[in-house]
Structure 1
Amino acid sequence: MDWKMFQSLLSGVNKYSTAFGRIWLSVVFVFRVMVYVVAAERVWGDEQKDFDCNTKQPGCPNVCYDHFFPISHIRLWALQLIFVTCPSLMVVMHVAYRDDREKKHRAKYGEEAKLYDNTGKKHGGLWWTYLLSLFFKTGIEIVFLYLLHMIYDSFYLPRLVKCDVKPCPNQVDCYIGHPTEKKVFTYFMVGASAFCIVLNVCEIIYLISKRIARIIRKMKSRDHLVALQHEHYKDHDNVRYHSVPMKRLQLKPTFKGSDELRASAPNLSTAA
């Protein structure tokens, strides 16, 4: 497998990742891929040849090896690394889709027109894609750890296994090659996988808490703006309400029918 090409495909993920995502990517390539390529592959290079049984019965060592190692650790880890890094490609593909939409939008409406402020910024659909990729990565890590534990009953590798599977004539003793090295690398890869799970969970909590904090800030700013507008309208109404009576008080009261009343009843004015 060409791990260099695999690394180049995921190198763009660093641009769109948070601090936890960058640490996760460093752990994957330094403590998992590099250890896998440099050391682990050599330890498990020819494990079936190093699997010795105290019998010369044809087919017995092969059947016993297949019984105790149905899936090799090294191949299971290779599948795990491939599957666990594939969700990160979802983010790269989503950003590439945004870039394509941005180019088409500018070609149609001019270079000044912008569809996105930043195509790699985690807002809208890209935020959901990034969050789903974290859930997928965490789920894949847990599933592969469970498979490894279920297939081998534990993460511990014994030095001696007893096999009574046909065509073995009776119960035979089989010895695993380099058991201590394999046990150390198994614990190391399991620990690195568990650490990656912790990083993914921390990044999920960070993204959700940051999104909630942003929503709360928007709600507070909106409520503050509404309160300012309400206060402005209230002050405007108070000014208008108090200004109208003042104008009315300055007006002198006039009675349009006073002259007619005096002309029609002169005696009333004399008596008064």
Structure 2
Amino acid sequence: MDWKTFQSLLSGVNKYSTAFGRIWLSIVFVFRVMVYVVAAERVWGDEQKDFDCNTKQPGCANVCYDYFFPISHIRLWALQLIFVTCPSFMVVMHVAYRDERERKYRIKHGEESKLYNNTGKKHGGLWWTYLISLFVKTAIEVSFLYILHFIYDSFYLPRLVKCEVSPCPNLVDCYIGHPTEKKVFTYFMVGASALCIVLNICEIIYLISKRVARCANKLKHRHRRSASPPTVAENRNGYDDNDHNNLKMEMTKLALPKDRPPSFMSSCKPPYRPARPTLRGEMMASAPNLSSEVLDN
């Protein structure tokens, strides 16, 4: 296995992870991958060669070793590391899918247009992908710990095992090479795996609680807006409600004509006509010295 390529692939996950995810990635690299490559492979490299039995019966040592070690620790841990890191690539592939959609959208609508504010931000489908990857990683870790516990009886490695499997002639004593050293590395790898499970659970709780808090804040904000409407109108111009109403009234006044048409009552009223002077008034106006008695006669 090319561990450098494996490490370079996993380093891309660090950009899209939370704080718990970064700690998990550091533990996987330092306490699991590095320990596996540097020390664990060498400790288990000669396990079958150092498995000695007190008999020279051909095939007895091989059959007894296969009976007590059906799956080697080192190969089981290699499978565990591969399977447990594969769900993290789901997030990287989802981000790559978003980047491709963003590129096609900009080609179609222009360079200034955006389909996502940030392709690596955990919102929408990417949030679900990240959460599902955490559940899958936790399930894989628990499954491999159960397999190791079921096969090797609580992760314990005895120094002496007794075998009576055919073709062994009778009950044969077999000795495991470097049992204490193998036991220490077994407990160390199991502890690192348990720590990764705890970090995955903490990250799941963190993501769900953060999402619930965001939804609760949105609902609370909507409830406040519906219960007590704001005094300032939320429009793009930024005017108050009173200013907006005053501006509307002024525009209505400007829209009306200055000379309004007459009403119905004023149109039905007859026009004003001055009264004509009588004959008496004309005579008094022409001869003011005449008395009223003469005018009456």
1:158-169 pair list within 5 angstroms = 158-169=158-169
Match for residue 22 of structure 1? 22
Match for residue 42 of structure 1? 42
The higher radius of gyration belongs to 2
Distance 1:66 1:222 in 2: 66
Which secondary structure state, in structure 2, belongs to the residue aligned with residue 50 of structure 1? coil
Instruction: Please say which of residues 89-98 and 216-225 is displaced more in the overlay.
Output: 216-225
Give the superposition deviation at 1:232.
8.0
Q: Is structure 2 residue 123 aligned with structure 1 residue 123?
A: yes
Give the superposition deviation at 1:221.
1.3
Which secondary structure state, in structure 2, belongs to the residue aligned with residue 161 of structure 1? strand
Match for residue 245 of structure 1? none
Which consecutive segments of 4 or more residues in structure 1 shift more than 4 A?
Answer: 230-233
Give the superposition deviation at 1:224.
1.8
Aligned-CA RMSD value:
1.6
Match for residue 148 of structure 1? 148
Give the superposition deviation at 1:32.
0.1
Deviations 1:66-88 (CA, angstroms, capped at 9, x unpaired): 00000000000000000000000
Q: Is structure 2 residue 98 aligned with structure 1 residue 98?
A: yes
Bigger share in helix: 1
Give the superposition deviation at 1:153.
1.7
Q: Is structure 2 residue 229 aligned with structure 1 residue 229?
A: yes
Match for residue 259 of structure 1? none
Letter in 1 for 2:58: P
Which secondary structure state, in structure 2, belongs to the residue aligned with residue 12 of structure 1? helix
Deviations 1:24-66 (CA, angstroms, capped at 9, x unpaired): 0000000000000000000001210010000000000000000
- Could you list the runs of 5+ residues in structure 1 that have no partner in the other structure? 241-255, 257-272
Distance 2:26 2:101 in 1: 31
Distance 1:86 1:232 in 2: 53
Which secondary structure state, in structure 2, belongs to the residue aligned with residue 157 of structure 1? coil
Letter in 2 for 1:200: N
Letter in 2 for 1:51: F
Distance 2:225 2:144 in 1: 51
Distance 2:222 2:58 in 1: 80
Give the superposition deviation at 1:231.
7.5
Match for residue 255 of structure 2? none
Deviations 1:95-114 (CA, angstroms, capped at 9, x unpaired): 00000000000000001110
TM-score by length of 1: 0.84
Distance 1:231 1:102 in 2: 40
Instruction: Please say which of residues 145-154 and 35-44 is displaced more in the overlay.
Output: 145-154
Distance 1:112 1:160 in 2: 72
1:1-272 pair list within 5 angstroms = 1-229=1-229
Distance 1:220 1:228 in 2: 12
Give the superposition deviation at 1:230.
7.8
Distance 2:160 2:92 in 1: 47
Letter in 1 for 2:142: I
Which secondary structure state, in structure 2, belongs to the residue aligned with residue 184 of structure 1? helix
